[in-house]
Amino acid sequence: MKKIIAANWKMNLNFQQAKDLAKQISKINSDNNIIIFPSFIYLNKVREIFNEVNIQLGAQNCSDKQSGAFTGEISVNQLASLECEYVLLGHSERRQYFNETNELINNKAKLAINNGLKPILCIGENLRQRESNKFKQVLEAQISECLEGPNIDDIIIAYEPVWAIGTGLTANLKQIEEAHNIILERAGKNIKILYGGSVNESNYADIMNIGNVAGVLVGGASLNYEKFSRICSF
């Protein structure tokens, strides 16, 4: 079955490096649904590079305001006008370093959907919550508070345990399957769920072979063409 392979470039790469990587990625021959999330300032150029190929574009964030005097913000309309189809919302780095709350993320999700963008909502527990066995409650609260209102069919969820992001620690297959089942129970069995957190060229196949994993959200390994193309070859 076709998988979703999303690449979160985060705040990496200069302009030349972003163009070079996009050009390499545009040559990948894969039946999977590949979505690239570059920095805002590279979206337009990367879109041009992907013009002739079937690779989609997403933004790493968006404003919770529709438009107007909000210096430095990027609106969902502006993203949609660049043919950006997806937007990452609630990434744990945004929650942790920019104090994004479930309520703010919920506002962004509604705005994104109303303006034709598809949110990929990131949820996940931190190490303390995992160790104290609170992760089920954390996931359920994130789902109900971030998704209050929007039609669930318009959303993809990325389960990203915070302790596995950029750490080299991956959740084991049983932990991933269990967390995805909790999400399916709460969000409905038709929702697509990606796994993210130290996905790399060695573990991607085992993870995507889990029945309730619709794909992966890749950070670090997506910056390296050889590693990322291996993952796309699934």
Smallest gap from residue 12 Cβ to ligand PGA (A): 10
- What DSSP assignment string belongs to 193-209? EEEESS--TTTHHHHHT
**Minimum CB distance to ligand PGA smaller for 115 or for 233:** 233
| Closest approach of ligand PGA to the CB of residue 6, in Å | 8
CB of 139 to ligand PGA, least distance (A): 16
The b/e string for 199-209 (b: 16+ C-beta within 10 A; e otherwise) is bbbebbeebbe
Would residue 52 show up in a list of annotated catalytic residues for this protein? no
Q: Is 129 or 198 the residue whose CB approaches ligand PGA more closely?
A: 198
Task: Tell me how far apart the 2 most distant CA atoms of the chain are, in Å.
Answer: 49
Number of H helices, E strands in the chain: 10, 8
CA dist 204 and 5 (Å) reads 10
Q: Could you confirm whether 140 is annotated as catalytic?
A: no
Q: Which of 85, 91, 131, 226 is catalytic?
A: 91
Cα separation, 94 vs 104, in Å, equals 11
Q: Which residue is nearest to ligand PGA (CB)?
A: 219
**For ligand PGA, which is the closer residue by CB, 7 or 74?**
7
Q: Which residue of the set 125, 160, 177, 185 is catalytic?
A: 160
Q: Which residues bind ligand PGA (CB under 6 A)?
A: 8, 160, 165-166, 196-199, 217-220
For the annotated catalytic residues, the residue numbers are 91, 160
